[in-house]
Every structure is written in structure tokens, then in C-alpha cells.
Amino acid sequence: MSSYVVVGYGPAGAETARLLAAEGHSVRVVTRSGRRAEPGVEHVALDAADAGRLTEVVQGAEAIFQCAAPPYHRWVKEWPPLVTSACTAAEASGAVLVLLGNLYGYGPVRAPMDESLPLAATGPKGRARAAGWEEVAERHRQGRIRAVEVRASDFFGPGVTSGGHLAGRVVPRLLRGKPVSTLGDPDAPHSWSYVPDVARALVEVAGEERAWGRAWHVPTAPALSVRGMVALLAAASGTGPVAVRGLPPVLLDALALVSPLMRELKEIRYQFDRPFVVDSSAYEAGFHVRATPVAEQVDVVAAWWAERLAGKG
């Protein structure tokens, strides 16, 4: 049995912790608020940006999974301290640092994204995420830490209730047979990262020395548009066809005047105005995790949301 630390308990962090516990490992989860212990999972309340306290918690761990993410509007301020703290804890403890990243650092692109693309984002959130990996990679090159990043697209899966474009503001409506609205072009191909696949990739690279020192894309199923995913979810839930409409840019601009979230989303609107497609062939050529078939993903998500909504009455 090995010991691991997972920082953050959003959908990816929770799935990673449970996967490790199911494999018989000892798992500590770090969040600001903490929570009750679960089978095989100890929850620790602390601010992960506090490098001293985080270093104490990770002593003896094989790997640190940095899955925490500040609220969207606080990324630029709060993401850098989280990364620096994780680096400090990894250096002091000798644990492998596994960073859960995303695709914002590439900025707008016109072709499928692979890991060879430069981190050319110019927006503040994209630059913050790019700078985080650049700090981690430099420490790895210096031999101070052992580190790897796994980059995911928009989360899709059980437990995803906010943040994702197929989450709380879309899926409950379509499961009730109601029309849904989405950012950008609802027919643009888009890659979705299935949360259980994200967790399995994080765990796999943690134990593969040949993976360290670079970034990898989560194994990802072929891209599907928002309209295509909504159609599959509606069919899986038995609701029948559901209307999908894209929100016009003028409306998004108006909403941004009153909604902090909509203001933040303006930076990454390009991800839904055009194809946003992940190439994960490099990962698939070197490792074992493969993307879960889309039909299985959709069935699990439809069932999870149906149970959740039934529980709410």
C-alpha cells in the first residue's frame, strides 16, 4: 500500500481519491474546509497555498495530485500560489507532483491541439495556467522535483455540476425535455474530458517515470458538438429531441455587465465559436488508459443526473 495526497475535491480530485482508495492505497485529501472521512480517504482542512503546512501533510507520500482550482474570477490571483506551494511540498518531500492542467494555455488555435503546441495564450487566465506549468517544468529540469502535467478539456461526467458547459445549467434542463442554451456555435466540434478518464490518466502517469517532465493530454473520445452531446443525453434519458440554441454574442456582452462569470467567460469564448479538438494520440501511444466510449459516458451521466434530481424531489 502506498500513500498519496490529493489537493482539491472537485469532480477530478474526488474521482482520483476514490480510485486510489479503491486500489488499496492510503489517501489524504486537502481542502480548505475539510469533510468527514470516507472509506480509505482522510480529509485534511488547510489552505493548500500554505507551503509549510502542505509540506507537513505530504510527508511520506508517493505523489501529490494538484487538482485544486480557485473560483474562475480568482484564477489569476490564486492559481500561482497553489502551484508554488505544491512545488515546494514536492521538493521537500520527494513526492512526484502530478498537475491537473487544462488547454487554456494554448490560446486560440485553428487545428486539433497536441502537446507540441506553444503555450501562446495572451488572456490572463490562459497565461496564469501556462505560467504554472512553466514553473513546474523548470523545477523538474533543474532536478529539484519530479513532475508531470495532465491536460483536460471541458469536464463531462458524474459529479460535474458546475463549471462545465454540459453541467448544471444544461443537463437538468434537457433531462426535463426543456430547450437548452450554450455559448458559441452549438454545432462546432468540441472535445469533452470524461472525469473517470481524467482520474485514471492522473494515477497512471504518477507511477510512470517515462511520463515525467512533460505534459500529456487526457485520452479523449472523438469530438462532438454541444448539439450532438445533447441529442445523445436526451436519447439516453428518454426525453426525446431537445432544442439547442447558441447565445448570440450581443446577449453574452449584456450578461457580462451584470455577471462576473460571464465576464470571465469572454476570454475563452473562442473555445465554442470554432472547433476545439484535442489530439491525445501521444498519450495513447505510450500508456494504457483509453477514453471511455461516448455511449457509456452518456449513459452514466444521464443516470447520475436522474438520481440526483430525483433525490431533490
pLDDT (tens digit, 9 = 90+) per residue, 57-77? 999 999 999 999 998 888 899
**pLDDT (0 to 100) of residue 251:** 66
Place of cell 477530478: 12
**Domain boundaries, given as residue ranges, for the chain:** 3-154+193-220+277-290
State the average pLDDT for the chain: 92
Q: What percent of the chain has a predicted confidence (pLDDT) above 70?
A: 94
Tell me what the mean pLDDT of segment 190-215 comes to: 98
- In the 8-state DSSP scheme, what is residue 248? P
Query: Collapsing DSSP states into helix, strand and coil, what is residue 302?
Result: helix
**pLDDT (0 to 100) of residue 37:** 82
- At 193, list the grid cell: 474530458
Tell me what the mean pLDDT of segment 130-134 comes to: 97
Tell me what the mean pLDDT of segment 179-192 comes to: 91
Tell me what the mean pLDDT of segment 127-141 comes to: 97
Cα 26 from Cα 41, distance rounded (Å): 7
Q: What percent of the chain has a predicted confidence (pLDDT) above 90?
A: 75
- At 35, list the grid cell: 469533510
**pLDDT (0 to 100) of residue 255:** 64
Tell me, which fold does domain 3-154+193-220+277-290 have in CATH?
A: Rossmann fold (3.40.50)
Residue 109 neighbours by CB distance under 10 Å: 16
**pLDDT (0 to 100) of residue 217:** 98
**CA distances (Å), origin 285, targets 189, 220, 281:** 23, 13, 6
